[in-house]
Structure 1
């Protein structure tokens, strides 16, 4: 028995048994159908369920290894990208050594699709896919847990209580991640716990501290530990966030009442909507490994943030949202009066450049974003506009900060 059996993904020798267990699970097809077709009812459900189960069994009959499963996932993911995006692109992988293992740390917009887009970029480049860090709050549903673990996901035990137990869990996780890098695979982990619902991408130093626990136990210096982790910042940008309405509802509730309570099944709904709803253009930008001498986790976090923001590919939706965002909301977003004008000037220059490059395409994309916004309740507009405008604000503010250093 491995020391990491309680958190690791499934291995090749376990794949077939897990798949057979899933295929015998009556709730699998029922759950899939009712999320896809919520109005399905009565006598129509049984024959459709039988047909869907037969299709799934046919697709999975020759899947015996992790690679088999991921190749099947890749086929459907490519089809999904064609259906739900107006273009997927990536950059930066040509600057990485294909023989190295990396800790990819990215901004976090979507539960399932962030690591999926990272993996499809690697797959298209004939590189090995990553193991994916996922919180145990998302694995409460056994079906979701099995599917995630089949797809090379390992567990971040966030729900443990007590300081000692938390440290033990994070120490265990840190050891597993280092084990992956040394023996098996690159890994992907989000820069913070939970998605950035307000569009503000900032690395939590606690993530870096967790990653460095193993090195401390090995008596490595902090800098040596960070260098061994081979951290590569990754920036993921969506033209349209498929869960923007849900995020705005949460932000509004928190602002109004001071709290937000998730509904039962909300995470599963977000996963399914993130996979199935339109995203517009999507880009994944891989940065360069963070190497050198470092004083603290905060310094490393700042370096990650710099690459995430610098490499963030802006979309027309970001530009239009910034144009429509109220000045007070900009100031509320921590943009100060003294550099508001400079950010506005940079945004206007970018807008003019985009318009002159392809005015018809720009107009169509701008109209699409405006139409999307108008479908949502007016009370949520300020949150949604800020959500899309914040990446632009932070990117241009970083440019100004770096220019003055």
Structure 2
């Protein structure tokens, strides 16, 4: 038994058995009917039974399902920066995180279309408690981040996770994706948590952690959705935090959020690949030997890349103007786009609740505020 068995995705030798045990599950039928609406059930079942590797499953089934999601629930995906990546090369992608499934699925679709190495991706074990969802995630090369552990268990789990991710990149030539923080960003303020970087560095055998981050080819990624399909679902937690209350999730909340992210309207989506961090890491190492200060500086470098390259949509500018009762960005959107956004606002939240309305608008407006900081710095 491998020490990574608790967290790793399937080996190719396990794929066919997992598919055979899931082929008659109603959710498999729903998934296939969605991805292949005009294909007879007997045909896709036969194809699944002939599938013996994760790559085959991803390319022949998952890829088509994600393309169908884009077709039915968005106005398309655009990308930038992928030309900076080399084929047959593993990278360690760290990105802002808005949607449980789609962030990594869309990244992998884009990597595949650019002829690049697809990722193994981190997912919280709290999100895959249902047996079918767990199997599906392992078929999509997800590895598990163990949640809700006691401090000692958490330390051991973090070491294991760090070692596993490093092994993927350095030994298996497999790219890795991880979010810049635990859980999705709910208020639109994307920020890298230093704890994530410290966990990643646990596998380092370098004297200086910046040399380790160079070795794994760390790449910041930004992803932005014109409409967040789970925006209204994020409100209860935001309101609890605003009122200094402890938020407790409903029983099936994560599963509902997962499905809503897939089937909800997103309009346009953009993914940007930042520069592979190198000279920035050299500069950090030259400026300080203090490990904590180095990690803080690295978090800032990642934030700078993600926030500056974040694609702003009309919805972001509309929310900013509504929140500040201004017309500062009226040239960035049409009156029709504004009316559609206001209608969405009315349908999804209680607009007579001032605090809730402000929180909803801030979710969309904060990326504008964050980008504005960089424009001010550049104009100085």
TM-score of the superposition, structure 2-length normalised? Answer: 0.88
Q: What's 1:149 paired with?
A: 138
* Residues 317/182 of structure 1: CA separation in 2 closer, same or farther (3 Å cut): same
Are positions 1:133 and 2:133 aligned together? no
Q: What's 2:291 paired with?
A: none
Alpha-carbon offset, residue 62 of structure 1? 2.6
Q: What's 1:40 paired with?
A: none
Alpha-carbon offset, residue 398 of structure 1? 2.5
Separation of aligned partners in 1, 2:106 and 2:28: 25
- Contact (CA 8 Å) 1:29, 1:53: kept in 2 or not? no
Separation of aligned partners in 1, 2:194 and 2:362: 24
Question: Which SS does the other structure have where 1:169 is aligned?
Answer: helix
Flag structure 2 segments of 5+ consecutive residues without an equivalent.
289-293
Are positions 1:387 and 2:363 aligned together? yes
Are positions 1:5 and 2:5 aligned together? yes
CA RMSD of aligned residues (A): 2.3
Q: What's 2:376 paired with?
A: 400
Please point out which of 214, 233, 255 is paired with 2:220: 233
- Contact (CA 8 Å) 1:107, 1:201: kept in 2 or not? yes
Question: Which SS does the other structure have where 1:5 is aligned?
Answer: coil
Are positions 1:169 and 2:167 aligned together? no
Separation of aligned partners in 2, 1:153 and 1:402: 39
Q: What's 2:322 paired with?
A: 324
Separation of aligned partners in 2, 1:79 and 1:59: 18
Alpha-carbon offset, residue 229 of structure 1? 2.0
Q: What's 1:339 paired with?
A: none
Flag structure 1 segments of 5+ consecutive residues without an equivalent.
37-50, 328-343, 356-361
Q: 1:239-292: per-residue Cα shift (whole Å, max 9, x none)? A: 000000010122113323612211111111111110111101000011001113
Q: 1:68-116: per-residue Cα shift (whole Å, max 9, x none)? A: 1101111121111011101210100101222421111110110001111
Q: What's 1:365 paired with?
A: 337
Are positions 1:190 and 2:179 aligned together? yes
Give the number of aligned pairs: 357
**Which of 394-403 and 263-272 deviates more?**
394-403
Q: What's 1:249 paired with?
A: 236
**Which of 315-324 and 245-254 deviates more?**
245-254
**Which of 185-194 and 123-132 deviates more?**
123-132
Alpha-carbon offset, residue 55 of structure 1? 7.3
Alpha-carbon offset, residue 56 of structure 1? 5.9
4+ aligned runs moved over 3 Å, structure 1? 27-30, 51-56, 401-404
Separation of aligned partners in 1, 2:28 and 2:93: 33
Separation of aligned partners in 2, 1:364 and 1:11: 50
Alpha-carbon offset, residue 364 of structure 1? 3.3
Q: 1:166-205: per-residue Cα shift (whole Å, max 9, x none)? A: 1111111111111011122101100000111000000001
Question: Which SS does the other structure have where 2:228 is aligned?
Answer: coil
- Contact (CA 8 Å) 1:29, 1:52: kept in 2 or not? no
Are positions 1:208 and 2:197 aligned together? yes
Q: What's 1:341 paired with?
A: none
Separation of aligned partners in 2, 1:147 and 1:176: 20
Alpha-carbon offset, residue 29 of structure 1? 6.0
- Contact (CA 8 Å) 1:23, 1:53: kept in 2 or not? no
